[in-house]
Amino acid sequence: LVTCRVDNDCFLGHICLSNMCAIGCRANTDCSSSQICHEHSCRDPCALPATCGPNTQCNVVAHRVQCNCLPGFISHPNPHVGCVRQPITCSSNAQC
């Protein structure tokens, strides 16, 4: 274990936490472009709860989350809902 006072006291990819060098990050740029720095750890933001909502596909580009509706679904104005099923049009009751 390596003791430290600042991040520069640690090896590349490590940060100084509670005076000990540990693998971690301080900013998104410390992580790969498909990850974010979350609580001093590089993480896939799509794996975090409530990132995009239900019926969505989550992608990460340059540390930014992009949420898209799955086929057959459309955006819903409520961010907690995500995407809702696209309404179908029918010309008779038997089609609905």
Q: What is the mean pLDDT of residues 5-32?
A: 93
pTM above 0.75, yes or no: no
With a cut of 80, say whether residue 94 has pLDDT above it.
Answer: no
Q: Dump the DSSP string for 30-95.
A: GS-TT-EEETTEEE-GGGSTTSS-TTEEEEEETTEEEEEEPTTEEE-SSTTT-EEEPPPP-SSGGG
Confidence band, pLDDT 50/70/90 cuts, at residue 96: low
